[in-house]
Amino acid sequence: MTLLATERIYGGRVVNLERDTVRFPDGSVGTLEMLRHPGAAAVLPFLDDPAAADPRVVLIRQFRHAADGFIWEVPAGRLDPGEAPDACARRELEEESGYRAGALRPLTTIYTTPGFTDERIHLFLAHDLDEREHHREPDEFMEVHRVRWSDVLARVRSGEIDDGKTLAAILYVQACLRSG
């Protein structure tokens, strides 16, 4: 696709809505509404050695207006202008959970919903955690939980964990790092 023109419809604190005129692969031209997002980082924090039989991880139960309630998530947040994804992951981990990562490992990067947004989330695994004090934003309502890996997987199977970035991080770790 080739971008021919962009018109800003709305500019907000978190996202911008734009109407793009594009040339599609078949040569036709059309318009698409796009939510522009600066990107984010998310981190799956392990309290124990990630290779242990049934390690503990830190998960957050956070109130999300769009979900109309509390959902299970990994700590995550938006990239600040010019901020590297690993720095964002470290910052968000400490702000939301109160833990500082001694070690941070990149996992993968995902598009959240490429049908209408360019948002990408960089996923990380953290371990060698040091407990500190959290520094949440005024609109962040969350609880920190320490959960065994076996319980995390049971919550995935039951559908209790349904947040996309959280599922991607958990399943990536299970499939690529813990199986074998």
pLDDT tens-digit readout, 25-65: 999 999 999 999 999 999 999 999 999 999 999 999 999 99
CA angle at 79 for the pair 20 and 61, rounded to the nearest 5°? 110
| Tokens matching residue 99 | 């833990």
- Please, what's the b/e burial string for 107-127 (b: 16 or more CB within 10 A of its CB; e: otherwise)? beebebeeeebbbbbbbbbbb
pLDDT tens-digit readout, 133-155: 888 777 778 899 999 999 999 99
Domain residue ranges of the chain, discontinuous segments joined by +: 2-36, 40-178
Q: Compute the distance between CA of residue 110 and CA of residue 169 in angstroms, rounded to an integer.
A: 10
User: Which of the following is catalytic: 133, 137, 140, 160?
Assistant: 137
Superfamily of domain covering 40-178: Nucleoside Triphosphate Pyrophosphohydrolase (3.90.79.10)
Catalytic (active site) residue 137: yes
Under the banding of pLDDT at 50, 70 and 90, the label for residue 69 is: very high
Q: What is the mean pLDDT of the chain?
A: 94
pLDDT at 70: 96
